[in-house]
Structure 1
Amino acid sequence: MKVVMTFSFLLPHTGNALQIQCYQCEEMKHNDCSTPEYIVNCTVNVQDMCQKEVLVKPDGIHYRKSCASSGACLIASSGYQQFCTGRLNSVCISCCNTPLCNGSKRKRPVPSAAMSNPRTNQPLILFLLALKLLPLT
């Protein structure tokens, strides 16, 4: 009984519908539509991704954001890959599948010097462990 209960969360629940929220706007400049008034609920079990288009026009960078089905978004993004140059008349389409992922990019916090990557010190730790295991003569 315990095993069944432990893994029951892995089974799909027929009563729960999958819905994602995305930002939605047309031809906005300066990424303005990554604010609460542009949040929409996507169509349940149909639009399972957020899409973001970045267009470089003579008057600046424009954004289109919307809900999308995974198939349509992935086809569009791969189809426009050759036009994603960052230069004038460039079009870049990206797809993502977490809530509000088509918003503006958040700046990542810069890691402090005190927080070192454990893998960076891995050779030193292994060397010190090897010295400790060697018999003293």
Structure 2
Amino acid sequence: MKALLIILFTAIFSPLAFAQAKVCGGTEIDIKKVGEWESTRFIVEAKNGADNTKLILKSVDYVSSYCEKSTTGVDKILILAICGGSGCSESTYTVIDARTLKVELVPFQGQGNLELVEKLLGREFKL
């Protein structure tokens, strides 16, 4: 239910619902939607100078990004991917270190991983 409210709110009030750009710890995060319906995918790109990391997320309906600082002072990019099916988790995150661009956590389809995100942050995380 929470995921549905996030999707509806963003779709109604945000002109960037399908294209997002943010900066986290000097790293630019760009999220673009490509395709339609069953072939929809999101391309997430993190760029810091000449370095970049690119991910393709499939089988999701909505993607959002967050910049969070860990208890050790490291900026982490959290990518939340939500799908609309009953077999989908509301807490499916990918985590990227904003400094090194290393992908530290990749979710498994349909399984939440909030506990692992909180271990990487060293603290509780809430939207």
The TM-score normalised by the length of structure 1 is: 0.27
Query: Which has the larger share of strand?
Result: 2
Query: Which has the larger share of helix?
Result: 1
Greater RCO, CA 8 A, separation 6+: 1
The TM-score normalised by the length of structure 2 is: 0.29
